[in-house]
Amino acid sequence: MQCEGTLLNVSLKDSEFISFQQMIFRIAGISLSSAKKSLVASRLAKRLKHHGLDSYAVYFEMLSEQHDELQMAVDLLTTNETYFFREPKHFEFLRDRVLPQHQPRRPFRIWSAACSSGEEVYTLAMLLADRLGEEPWEVFGSDISTQVLDKARKGVYPMERTRDIPPALLRTYCLKGIGSQEGHLLIDPVLRKRVRLAQINLNETLPNVGEFDVIFLRNVMIYFQQETKRQVVSRLLTKLCSGGIFVIGHSESLNGLGQNLESLAPSIYRKP
């Protein structure tokens, strides 16, 4: 077993970084630039410490033998920060332009296709509950990381994350933690029951999840190469109903992907 002091001095060699680069691209389609080398080293260092390893190369070999550890590494390398009501123009468009046109003959379905720890999922759920009430609706969230999905299922978040939630929605759909949960908010259990979560790798054939009225794919394509973007978008569009809305992050683009989509607003598109 290595002592903690030794582990702090373990460095990630260029050849080792390339191995992790290739691994995460193969599994998740995520392209890590050389600028991410320090991020990879810092996120995986805790796993070296946990196993008492003295090199990243030995840890990489372990991943081929232990599926649970491989999932742990994928979780660590794909997790991204998010927050409630991020890029609010998208939610305003949904509230003001999309939901008023919905005919309640069938459930209104939204897919948050890279939902991380659930803030986007519950933002959408608050909006639908507020606007559609008891009408049938569903928010489906997916991510490649089992770790962030576990956080999303709990629905517990630090109180500072509430700053962008409109006060009326905060009062209606969030509970203030007490005791051991002091300083945190809890998404109302009734709202959580309207949300479904699943692990899905967008870089693989998608499971049978039905069709959706709206798909959010925000702030994940920035990590994809052009061909990976094209494949992921093509897969997701097969799950979007005719006339459905496709939303990407403001810093992202569908230019050059060859998709026949109508632009409705910045980073918001409609499928013919």
Coil, strand or helix at 258: coil
Residue among 30, 18, 28, 20 nearest 225 (CA): 30
Residue 213: active-site member:
no
CA distance 155 to 218: 20
The catalytic residue among 143, 188, 192, 218 is: 143
Query: 3-state secondary structure string, 79-113?
Result: CCCCCCCCCHHHHHHHHHHHHHHCCCCCCEEEEEC
Identify whether the C-beta of residue 254 lies closer than 8 Å to the C-beta of residue 217: no
Token code pair at residue 206: 């998608």
Token code pair at residue 122: 């519950």
Residue 143: active-site member:
yes
Q: CA 126: distance to chain centroid?
A: 18
208 contacts: CB under 8 Å, gap ≥ 6: none
CA distance 121 to 111: 8
| Rg of the chain on CA atoms, in Å | 20
Percent helix / strand / coil, the chain, rounded to 5: 45, 20, 35
**Known catalytic residues?**
43, 143
